[in-house]
Structure 1
Amino acid sequence: MLEITEGSHAVAEAVRLCRPQVVSAYPITPQTHIVEALADMVADGKLDADYMTVESEFSALSACLGASAAGSRVYSATTSQGLALMFEVCFNVAGMRLPIVMTIANRALGAPLSIWNDQQDSISLRDSGWLQFYAEDNQEATDLHYIAYRVAEDHKVLLPAMVCFDGFILSHTYEPVDMISQEDADNYLPKFAPKERLDAADPISFGMYATPEYYLEFRYETDKALKDAKSVIQAAGTEFKQMFGRDYSAMVEGYRMDDAETVIVAMGSICGTIKDTIDDLRTEGARVGLLKIRVFRPFPSDEVAQALKGAKRVAVLDKNISLGAKGAVALEIKDALYSSGIPVYDYIVGLGGRDVRKKDIREVVALAGKGQGDMFVGLRKEVL
């Protein structure tokens, strides 16, 4: 059913339809509307779940860890400094192979303090072992929660998942969203069946001390599970398309790529602005396309290399930066295209909520055409 709703409320409704048994989160801008809505649903009897109130984000994810280990389907949400406070627990959750789903309403990290959007928060946890999905719009953000649970809970994967969507730009924006029914959600997402769980009658341990003789193998198995998740993601996306008509079978998605000489690579809500700009540039004769990254972990290196094989140059728009190096997406793209000879130029944009306008994207295309890249775009002139 098509509804015009705020992005946060659409996500909360999707989470309700996924039937989590435990929700634990701590409010932080711009994530708060999601967990407020879920708290109301629990209080009103619309969601049969335990809503655990805690004193911090560290406690929130710790509570989720325990609930998931005990065999419950679990949900949380956070952003920015809240995700940073969860850092230790994020690694523990992945290492214990607990399929928690958590929404990240992407927001810049301090200092200086910012409540506005970029993707530095989730990108900073890219090495923690979580699946990472990035949404372009609120329809995609909503649908990716069903897929995230489906993939995370698959016994070939058993890893936690972040569904990332841009704070304020999407979380507080009203858009038409096609919500599925509870019956359809149940048909797509089966009841959670944990492979292992804490049980006093059959005791096991999670996250035990590992000596050097064993630790390496644990990291190997987590890495392998992430890579094996690619086929599970593709299968889950294909089935979603068959049931609901929206295709998430590919971890990357091209736009006007057939004859593109310059291909822009990006992820998140900025892709909408890029598409509009490409349409304008096409009318002027410029052969420009977009490759949207929907899944950042596991990184779809083979799919990226295949999609970009015909490009003359690649321009990556990164709403994050690995300080002292480049943007994280550009580093991955360079690795995927290492043997191709295709030049990859990185452009750091939109940090701390700085607007990225059509003129900025035009500038990026022009710079890439001149072979100029690996720079910040949109800096105030007095710092240049």
Structure 2
Amino acid sequence: MNDNIKILEGSMAIASTVKTCKPNIVSAYPITPQTHIVENIAKMVADGEIKADYIRADSEFSALSTLIGASATGARTYSSTTSQGLALMFEALFNASGMRLPIVMTVVNRALSAPLNIWNDQQDSISVRDAGWIQLYAEDNQEACDLLPIAYKVAEDKEILLPTMCCMDGFILTHTFEPVIIPEESLVDEFLPPFRPDFILDPANPLTFGAYAGPEIYTEFRYQQHNAMIKAEEKIEKAMNEFGEVFGREYGLIDEYRLDDADIVIISMGSLLGTIKDAVDEMREDGIKVGILKITSYRPFPKEKIYNKIKGIEKGIVFEKDVSIGTGAGLLNDLKAALYGKKQTPFLYGFVLGLGGRDVGMNDIKDAVKKVKTLELEDFGFINLRKEVL
């Protein structure tokens, strides 16, 4: 048995993994269900387990703004937030990305107000998908932990220099106790080199970060960010492969489950995949050939890899915990755009479910597959709506 296997609450596992990544500055503001992460990190700093400065900010906007300054001086930085906290960071999210600062942040996915809701869905991070941050989505607590050193390695790559969100579902993962292998610090040191940027704020060598850019040069900044995000796809894949070699746990930009002979492919991301896998296993026993394509990297969006995995499959079902009001949902719309004009692509049906923490059961998944097989539905809809609103 691996001595590093521990039964930990997801939040504690994240805090323990952050410790192994050796950040210099941690700044955050507590907000449910993210609080336990930074609460545990603050205790580790106070107890001398992490040699870092912990800054308790007065808001999430201040927390990220603090890290922007710290990262610009060459510090490795970390934060975590959720929902309204991520929304409050909106301006600073673009500043961090535009200044090419490799901040890493755990985003604990939670519904946005109004109405007020503290439970899980993925509307918060999906809503800032165009802010120039890499976005990686974890299926379980082990993956949520392992994505952190991978995120630092990619974000701090001098050809990338983009901030990164490691997204995990609130309560479902953060407050669940699971067996988790915390990466050994010596192995993390081997995998993740120290952060040594070429350009920092230094009085001895004055530079300007985030200066005014007129129409004659502004577009070029966005062009460079765009290219870095595209290049990040191969960098993430390389980092994941290296992680597998060092730690023995393998990850990919996408992953598949029982997809080889599938007539229907289910596409999703996050903790929902556990329920979907159980439903697929039961449907397979009934002779229904359905498989899964898991999306881990949402930004960058590995469209060619996705296409190569699902081309030739007749129908696709996208399950997601967000809605793009009036137009469908984020992952569904991105998939349609990525597959537009390509041959042998599945016809995609999109389902919004689990908003605001509403329970998603295997029967919900199986019922949707049944409707797709019998064509008893439109190409987009909501699952489990209360009858009085229909």
Q: TM-score, normalised by structure 1?
A: 0.99
Secondary structure at the aligned position of 1:234 is classed as: helix
- The partner residue of 1:52 within 46, 52, 55 is 55
- The partner residue of 1:262 within 261, 264, 287 is 264
Q: Distance in 1 between matches of 2:247 and 2:366?
A: 36
Per-residue CA deviations over 1:98-139 (Å, capped at 9, x if unaligned) read 000000110000000000000000011100000000000000
Q: How far has the Cα of 1:195 moved from its partner?
A: 2.3
Name the residue aligned to 2:348.
Answer: 344
Which 10-residue stretch deviates more, 336-345 or 316-325? 336-345
Q: How far has the Cα of 1:253 moved from its partner?
A: 0.3
Secondary structure at the aligned position of 1:64 is classed as: helix
Name the residue aligned to 2:386.
Answer: 380
Q: Distance in 1 between matches of 2:108 and 2:115?
A: 19
Q: Distance in 2 between matches of 1:162 and 1:346?
A: 25
Which 10-residue stretch deviates more, 92-101 or 184-193? 184-193
Map 1:277-356 to 2 at 5 A.
Answer: 277-338=279-340, 339-340=342-343, 341-356=345-360
- The partner residue of 1:203 within 206, 223, 228 is 206
Q: Distance in 1 between matches of 2:380 and 2:200?
A: 47
Map 1:54-93 to 2 at 5 A.
Answer: 54-93=57-96
Please report the RMSD computed on the Cα atoms of aligned residues, expressed in angstroms: 0.7
Q: Distance in 2 between matches of 1:306 and 1:195?
A: 38
Q: How far has the Cα of 1:204 moved from its partner?
A: 0.6
Structure 1 letter corresponding to 2:387:
K
Q: Distance in 2 between matches of 1:304 and 1:368?
A: 21
Q: Distance in 2 between matches of 1:378 and 1:245?
A: 40
Structure 2 letter corresponding to 1:253:
D
Q: How far has the Cα of 1:359 moved from its partner?
A: 0.7
- The partner residue of 1:274 within 268, 272, 276 is 276
Q: Distance in 2 between matches of 1:195 and 1:147?
A: 21
Gaps of 5+ in 1: none
Q: How far has the Cα of 1:370 moved from its partner?
A: 2.8
Q: Distance in 2 between matches of 1:337 and 1:226?
A: 19
Is 1:361 the counterpart of 2:361 in the alignment? Answer: no
Which 10-residue stretch deviates more, 337-346 or 62-71? 337-346
Name the residue aligned to 1:166.
Answer: 169
Name the residue aligned to 2:123.
Answer: 120
Structure 2 letter corresponding to 1:269:
S
Contact 2:312–2:346 at 8 Å: present in 1 too? Answer: no
Structure 2 letter corresponding to 1:374:
F
Which 10-residue stretch deviates more, 362-371 or 60-69? 362-371
Map 1:186-201 to 2 at 5 A.
Answer: 186-201=189-204
Q: How far has the Cα of 1:53 moved from its partner?
A: 1.3
Secondary structure at the aligned position of 2:227 is classed as: helix
Aligned residue-pair number: 383
Q: Distance in 2 between matches of 1:195 and 1:173?
A: 40
Contact 2:352–2:382 at 8 Å: present in 1 too? Answer: yes
Q: How far has the Cα of 1:367 moved from its partner?
A: 1.9
Q: How far has the Cα of 1:245 moved from its partner?
A: 1.1
Per-residue CA deviations over 1:56-108 (Å, capped at 9, x if unaligned) read 00000000000000110000000000000000000000000000000011000
Q: Distance in 2 between matches of 1:117 and 1:79?
A: 10
Map 1:21-36 to 2 at 5 A.
Answer: 21-36=24-39
Contact 2:353–2:383 at 8 Å: present in 1 too? Answer: yes
Secondary structure at the aligned position of 2:349 is classed as: strand
Structure 2 letter corresponding to 1:294:
T
Structure 1 letter corresponding to 2:153:
R
Q: Distance in 2 between matches of 1:342 and 1:293?
A: 17
Q: Distance in 2 between matches of 1:335 and 1:260?
A: 23
Which 10-residue stretch deviates more, 21-30 or 332-341? 332-341
Secondary structure at the aligned position of 1:180 is classed as: coil
Contact 2:318–2:349 at 8 Å: present in 1 too? Answer: yes
Identity, % of aligned pairs? 54
Q: How far has the Cα of 1:382 moved from its partner?
A: 1.0
Q: How far has the Cα of 1:203 moved from its partner?
A: 0.6
Structure 1 letter corresponding to 2:96:
V
- The partner residue of 1:242 within 232, 242, 245 is 245
Structure 1 runs of 4+ with >3 Å offset: none
Secondary structure at the aligned position of 1:114 is classed as: coil
Q: Distance in 2 between matches of 1:300 and 1:383?
A: 37
Q: How far has the Cα of 1:336 moved from its partner?
A: 2.1
Secondary structure at the aligned position of 1:317 is classed as: strand
Q: Distance in 2 between matches of 1:300 and 1:174?
A: 32
Structure 2 letter corresponding to 1:382:
E
Q: Distance in 1 between matches of 2:142 and 2:35?
A: 19
Per-residue CA deviations over 1:263-306 (Å, capped at 9, x if unaligned) read 10000000000000000000000000010000000001001101
Gaps of 5+ in 2: none
